[in-house]
Structure 1
Amino acid sequence: MQRRTFIQNTGLLTAALSTAGTELLAVSPSQNAGKNKLPKWKGFNMLDFFSPDPANSRPASQENYFKWMQDWGFDFVRIPMAYPAYLKFDRSRNITPDEVYQIDQQAVDRIDALVAMAHKHNLHVSLNLHRAPGYCVNSGFHEPYNLWTDQAALDAFCFHWNMWAKRYKNVSSKKISFDLLNEPSVRADMNDQHARHSTVPGEVYRKVALAASEAIWKENKNHLIIADGNDTGSSVIPAIADLNIAQSCRGYNPGIISHYKAPWANKDPDHLPEPKWPGQVGDKYLSRAMLETFYQPWIELVNKGVGVHCGECGCWNKTPHDVFLAWFNDVLDILSSNGIGFALWEFVGSFGILDSGRTDVAYEDWYGHKLDRKLLNLMLKA
């Protein structure tokens, strides 16, 4: 579809919202008291298309990964995608706004193949734009505009979501969902990783989420849509609670535990207080009580009839393993006891259950991989 044709044809009546996405999200708040509208999915993020540059992408996920997930009892994978990963343009220079529409069909087919492998093993797939036109929580690719302020960026955002919605037009919401935008916030400089972050104003978030949702529901009114929490996934979004859109929280709080020494999350990663759980770390006492407070708004959202899932969680491999497991046990227990499912940030890699590179783990050999059995068991009991 041409850009101009798409933009001309995306005007939809908001009255359609009353029936959109109803296949899974069909329970009214009064019927839903204390029960999550979303299934209690458990699984992993798969990072095959996480990088904006295919030349720097992760090794392709193997079908065995999905078989193992299914055998262990998991039922969910989230696929965070960087939109440039499936475009054709000259990568020797910054992308232009017009090039954001240049879809690489072969790359899209590779994403299709990953989705098909997950479906073969009865895993729900949540497609996510980790990098969308005009926004990403991470730097590393020069965005040509700002999703929160520029109509051209919003038009492109809707174009991409319409494409994916059309691609899976006839796939049940029990098998696929659409996670609009990874970890939204307003950043003072869209292309500076450590620039000042602030909350997306509610009316702005609503405008962007509604526009993208309408582009998706145009293809199938039962498509299931999820919106990541504000403030990079940490805060509920009251401004869209009346829409038929689920919301996604994060399992990274506090960052001194989950992102200890992570260079992308800390300006001075080599001079941080040693993490403890529970215990005094820097000027804060870290405990389960702080997690209960952090997740209370999300629990209240569930009780109001809004579907909630934790789309990302886990801990980078520099946090001592015993501290990680003690903290993660509390995180998962709080989520699970309130019917909220979760997805570990990755399956294979530094946050994963396989080949995490931790130096303080007694790994189990697993078909040539190093399995963190303690972490796996913790996830399975949640």
Structure 2
Amino acid sequence: MNRRNFITTTALGTAALSLPASMFATAQKTNPLPKWKGFNLLDFFSPDPAQSRKPTTEDYFRWMRDWGFDFVRIPIAYPYYLNIDRTKNITPDDVYKIDNAAVDRIDKLVTMAHRYGMHVSLNLHRAPGYCINAGFHEPYNLWKDQAAQEAFYFHWNMWAKRYKHLPASKISFDLVNEPSMREDMNDQHSRSSAVPGDVYRKVAQGAAAAIRKENPSHLVIADGNNVGNNVIPEITDLNIAQSCRGYFPGIISHYKAPWANKDPDNLPEPKWPGQVGEKYLSRTMLEEYYKPWGELARQGVGVHCGECGCWNKTPHNVFMAWFTDVLGILKEHRIGFALWEFSGDFGILDSRRTDVAYEDWYGHKLDRKYLNLLISNF
């Protein structure tokens, strides 16, 4: 089937396609998704395979399982698995040049995760025509260009076909990471706003149709609008779960992060609770922030926090006080979470924080206090 005919076939509406009742039961009056807890794994986060991180090991999965975690989200940059000339800017035709060997490497990680009892959520962190980060030149705009949307549906159909026989308990498809309507798709600091609701609905509906063409019971997840912050009321009838974030407020979670702040060296010192700049930061503001997400879950729409955590420049005591409140509120709403990340600057292993009493863990530096906080919120 050529890609134009593929788009025509998969652009059918998804109203008649439903997930298992256990996943979306409107009479349940509580979050219908399992309270998954786990981590993002960044093996395929870079658009250039040559810049990839060291592969996740079986030891990592063994430790996750033994500590009680049951979920991994795999954010993927779609160029990672393309066979293209990386010395040139990508073209719209290049977007369809799948590198099967690279796809097999991703599949190997999925298979390993399943071997250790993890639910796997595949996410296009960089989708054709959109990424929250710069660092790769997109040839079009996912929210404005039909060609980008067609490519988006094509990629999701490919992944859905590969896992067509897996149940929703094992695999889910997280459409696009932290969507926003940005003025310049290739400048992450350019002005952005929420994606218009009707546009988000169109793109999510088309992608869900492409996925469920392979298996009507596939579990589809959409990240919150406006960089993951806002509930998406326009899609609540589409049997699509929604994913919130655990980064609010950014002055705590992304303190001094250069990719999130134009002037990272001149920021007010973070406190929790306390006055930071012109705002008083407290649990109350978090409760208001997560209230719409709790209400969405109680309406029978699945909700999960697909990313949360804090970069390593925030003082550890401030981070722990804030994150205790974040996890506590998510727990009250029966919303599971996935930490960004397992090992690295945001992680429980090898975070490179300078104010932590690390425990030696098989040659790694384990933030035991952080791990205990996560476990206490299962």
Q: Give me the TM-score of the superposition, normalised by structure 2.
A: 0.98
- What percentage of residue pairs aligned between the two structures are identical? 71
Would the aligned equivalents of 1:23 and 1:222 in 2 still touch at CA under 8 Å? Answer: no
How do 1:253-292 and structure 2 match up within 5 A?
253-292=248-287
Question: Are 1:311 and 2:302 counterparts?
Answer: no
What is aligned with 1:4? 4
Would the aligned equivalents of 2:15 and 2:237 in 1 still touch at CA under 8 Å? Answer: no
Question: Are 1:350 and 2:345 counterparts?
Answer: yes
What is aligned with 1:119? 114
Deviation at 1:270, TM superposition (A): 0.3
Q: Quick one: distance in 2 between partners of 1:167 and 1:4?
A: 20
Deviation at 1:193, TM superposition (A): 1.4
Q: Quick one: distance in 1 between partners of 2:3 and 2:205?
A: 19
**Cα-Cα RMSD:** 1.0
Tell me which amino acid in the other structure corresponds to 1:295.
Answer: Y
What is aligned with 2:200? 205
1:183 equivalent among 168, 178, 181: 178
1:59 equivalent among 47, 54, 58: 54
2:81 equivalent among 54, 63, 86: 86
Deviations 1:255-281 (A, max 9, x none): 000000000000000000000000000
Q: Secondary structure at the match of 1:319?
A: coil
What is aligned with 2:235? 240
Deviation at 1:337, TM superposition (A): 1.3
Question: Are 1:150 and 2:145 counterparts?
Answer: yes
Q: Quick one: distance in 2 between partners of 1:108 and 1:101?
A: 13
Would the aligned equivalents of 1:45 and 1:79 in 2 still touch at CA under 8 Å? Answer: yes
Q: Quick one: distance in 2 between partners of 1:344 and 1:302?
A: 20
Would the aligned equivalents of 1:213 and 1:225 in 2 still touch at CA under 8 Å? Answer: yes
Question: Are 1:295 and 2:286 counterparts?
Answer: no
Alignment length (residue pairs): 377
What is aligned with 1:37? 32
Deviation at 1:10, TM superposition (A): 2.1
Deviation at 1:22, TM superposition (A): 2.4
Tell me which amino acid in the other structure corresponds to 2:18.
Answer: A
Q: Quick one: distance in 2 between partners of 1:269 and 1:369?
A: 29
Q: Quick one: distance in 1 between partners of 2:15 and 2:7?
A: 20
Q: Quick one: distance in 1 between partners of 2:22 and 2:185?
A: 35
2:188 equivalent among 188, 193, 205: 193
1:167 equivalent among 156, 162, 165: 162
Q: Give me the TM-score of the superposition, normalised by structure 1.
A: 0.97
Deviation at 1:197, TM superposition (A): 0.6
Deviation at 1:3, TM superposition (A): 2.5
1:17 equivalent among 15, 18, 34: 15
Q: Secondary structure at the match of 1:236?
A: coil
Deviation at 1:175, TM superposition (A): 0.3
Q: Quick one: distance in 2 between partners of 1:193 and 1:27?
A: 38
Q: Secondary structure at the match of 2:28?
A: coil
Tell me which amino acid in the other structure corresponds to 1:168.
Answer: Y
Would the aligned equivalents of 1:21 and 1:217 in 2 still touch at CA under 8 Å? Answer: no
Deviation at 1:2, TM superposition (A): 4.0
Please list every run of at least 4 consecutive aligned residues from structure 1 whose deviation after the TM superposition is greater than 4 angstroms: none
Consecutive unaligned residues of structure 2, counting only runs of 5 or more, are none
Deviation at 1:18, TM superposition (A): 3.3
Consecutive unaligned residues of structure 1, counting only runs of 5 or more, are none
Deviation at 1:205, TM superposition (A): 0.3
